C-alpha cells in the first residue's frame, strides 16, 4: 500500500496520471501479477472508463515482498518456493535499442556510495563518479571498490576549489594532486575532469589536458534534498544522450535513484558511464573540449 501511494503520487507530479489523489482511499483496488509486474486496478466501477491501471514492476516490489518468490523461466510468473531454497536474482533483460543516458555523481565518495553502487549493479547500470580529494583520503577503500567494480572515476580536484579563481599552473596543481591520490590507490589515471561548480573558462580549457565533462540535466539534489523533487526534475527533462548531474552525498539522492532506475528502464532507457555513452555513439572525448551531452 505504501509503495502504491508513492507511485500514485509520482504519476501525479509528473503529469502522467489524471487522477484525484484525495479519492484514492475510497477507491476499490484489485491486484494482478502479470509478466513480472503487479498491476493495480483502481476504480469505483461506476463506469468502465474510470479504471486506472498502475504497474509496479519487480524491481520496485522486491524490497516490499514478504513471501518467498522466484522467477519461473517457463511462465515468467512469481511462484512460491521452499524457504530453504536459494532465491535467485534476476536483472532486467538487455535491449540493444535502449536510449542511453549517463548518470554522474559529484563530491564523493560518501557513506552512501556503496549502497548506490549496489543499486546500480542490480540494474546492470554504470555511472561516472567525479571524486574530490579530501573524500578520497578518508574513504580510499570505497574508491578501490568502485574501481574494481568497473565504475568510471573522474577528477573533481583535490579540494573542490573554483578553478576559475586560479591561473593555469595553480588550477592544474589542484587537478594533478587529486589524480596522484587516485594513481596511488589504483595505478590508473583520472582521464575525465569535472570542474567544481561547472566553472570553466576559455583560458583554463586550453591549458587543462583533459576532456571537461559538464551536464545537460541537473537533478538539483544539492538544492532540494528531497527525493520526489529529484525524481520529478530528472523525469521532466531527461532524454537520450543526456548527462545527468547528481551528488552521492545525500540519502535523498540514493532514495531517488531507487525510484528512477525502474521507471527509466521501463521507458526504454539504459544508464551508462560518460565514456560508455560517447563510445556507443562513436563520439570521441578529446582534451580541451567541453561536453554537456552526447549528440
Give 286: exposed, middle or buried? Use CB within 10 Å, 0-12, 13-18, 19+: exposed
Per-residue pLDDT reduced to its tens digit, 3-41: 656 665 555 555 445 444 444 454 444 555 555 556 555
C-alpha angle 21/228/249, rounded to 5°? Answer: 165
DSSP letter assigned to residue 223:
H
**Unique residue bearing C-alpha cell 549496489:** 118
Q: Are 32 and 38 in contact (CB under 8 A)?
A: yes
Q: What pLDDT score does 92 carry?
A: 47
Predicted pLDDT at 12: 53
Three cell numbers written together for 165: 579563481
Query: Which residues does the annotation mark as catalytic?
Result: 106, 247
pTM for this structure? 0.72
In percent, the amount of the chain with pLDDT more than 70 equals: 67
Look at residue 97 in the predicted model and tell me its pLDDT.
75
Instruction: Please state the rounded mean pLDDT for residues 203-207.
Output: 97
Q: Contact 171/204 with Cβ under 8 angstroms?
A: yes
Nearest to 249 by CA among 239, 241, 257: 257
Structural domains of the chain sorted by starting position, each given as residue range(s) with its CATH number in brackets: 1-90 (no CATH), 99-291 (3.20.20.370)
Judged by average pLDDT, the poorest of 47-61, 172-186, 204-218 is 47-61
Name the pLDDT band for 293 (thresholds 50, 70, 90).
Answer: very high
Summarised one tens digit per residue, pLDDT across range 60-113 is 656 665 544 444 444 444 444 454 444 444 444 454 678 999 999 999 999 999
Using an 8 Å Cβ cutoff, are 192 and 215 in contact? no
Q: What is the pLDDT of residue 295?
A: 87
Cα angle value 215/254/56 (rounded, 5°): 105
Question: DSSP E strands: which ranges in 44-120?
Answer: 52-57, 99-106
Amino acid at each position: 500500500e505504501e509503495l502504491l501511494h508513492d507511485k500514485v503520487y509520482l504519476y501525479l507530479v509528473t503529469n502522467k496520471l489524471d487522477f484525484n489523489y484525495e479519492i484514492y482511499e475510497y477507491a476499490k483496488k484489485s491486484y494482478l501479477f502479470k509478466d513480472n509486474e503487479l498491476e493495480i486496478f483502481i476504480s469505483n466501477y461506476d463506469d468502465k472508463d474510470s479504471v486506472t491501471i498502475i504497474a509496479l514492476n519487480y524491481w520496485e516490489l522486491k524490497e516490499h515482498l514478504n513471501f518467498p518468490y522466484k522467477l519461473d523461466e517457463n511462465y515468467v510468473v512469481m511462484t512460491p518456493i521452499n524457504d530453504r531454497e536459494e532465491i535467485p536474482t534476476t536483472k532486467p533483460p538487455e535491449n540493444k535499442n535502449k536510449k542511453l543516458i549517463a548518470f554522474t555523481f559529484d563530491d564523493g565518495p560518501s557513506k552512501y556510495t556503496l549502497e548506490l553502487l549496489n543499486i546500480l549493479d542490480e540494474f546492470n547500470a554504470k555511472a561516472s563518479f567525479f571524486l574530490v580529494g579530501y573524500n578520497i583520503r578518508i574513504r580510499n577503500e570505497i574508491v578501490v571498490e568502485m574501481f574494481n567494480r568497473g565504475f568510471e572515476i573522474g577528477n573533481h580536484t583535490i579540494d573542490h576549489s573554483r578553478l576559475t579563481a586560479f591561473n593555469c599552473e595553480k588550477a592544474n596543481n589542484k587537478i594533478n594532486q587529486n589524480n596522484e591520490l587516485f594513481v596511488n590507490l589504483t595505478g590508473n589515471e583520472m582521464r575525465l575532469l569535472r570542474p567544481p561548480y561547472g566553472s570553466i573558462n576559455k583560458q583554463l580549457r586550453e591549458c587543462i589536458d583533459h576532456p571537461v565533462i559538464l551536464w545537460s540535466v541537473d537533478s538539483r539534489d544539492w538544492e532540494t534534498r528531497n527525493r520526489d523533487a529529484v525524481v520529478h526534475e530528472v523525469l521532466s527533462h531527461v532524454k537520450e544522450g543526456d548527462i545527468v548531474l547528481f551528488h552521492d552525498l545525500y540519502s535523498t539522492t540514493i532514495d531517488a535513484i531507487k525510484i528512477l532506475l525502474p521507471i527509466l528502464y521501463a521507458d526504454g532507457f539504459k544508464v551508462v558511464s560518460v565514456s560508455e555513452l560517447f563510445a556507443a555513439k562513436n563520439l570521441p572525448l578529446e582534451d580541451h573540449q567541453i561536453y554537456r551531452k552526447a549528440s
